Amino acid sequence: MQKHEQIQTGGRKEARASVQLTSGSGTKIIINGKPATTYFQDNSIFLQYILNVYEIVGDGAKYDAKISVEGGGLSAQAQASRLALSKAFLAVFPNLRKTFKERGFLTRDARIKERRKYGLKKARKASQFSKR
């Protein structure tokens, strides 16, 4: 098998993920230098975000992933990793685009924290109104 390498990025809220895909066994998923099961503290929900991508690719998933994430919480990091991993696999297997799109794996969740407005304490919190 020829040596393939693919680098893609993904984001969610404040989390940013960068995936380096290299040909290998398809079982090694390293996140910030730790195995994915250790990094996500055996939380199957967050780990499932990443494993769903490998399930779609199926037998062709003979690629190891080295993921570096920063910012946000574990959930946002897992979703950012899923987006980056999907984009990386899409570069290798362009025929999977429709499947990834149907599952929403190529859509970046654009919801972010609302900015603070002047005259208010937070984005929407105003100081208490006194009638008299």
Distances (CA, A) of 126 to 6, 115, 119, 121: 48, 14, 8, 6
State the virtual CA torsion across 89, 93, 97, 102 in degrees, nearest 10. -70
CA geometry: angle at 45 spanning 42 and 50, to 5°? 90
Q: What is the pLDDT of residues 88-113, one digit of tens each?
A: 999 989 999 999 999 999 999 888 88
Q: What are the extents of the domains in the chain?
A: 5-103
5-103: which CATH number, 1.10.3720.10, 3.30.230.10, 3.40.50.300, 1.10.760.10?
3.30.230.10
pTM: 0.84
For 130, the 3-state DSSP assignment is coil
Q: Could you tell me which of 82, 114, 87, 102 has the C-alpha nearest to residue 12?
A: 82
Taking the C-alpha atoms of residue 19 and residue 67, their distance in angstroms, rounded to an integer, is 4
For the stretch 13-29, pLDDT in tens is 889 999 998 888 878 89
pLDDT, tens digit, for every residue of 45-63? 999 999 999 899 887 778 8
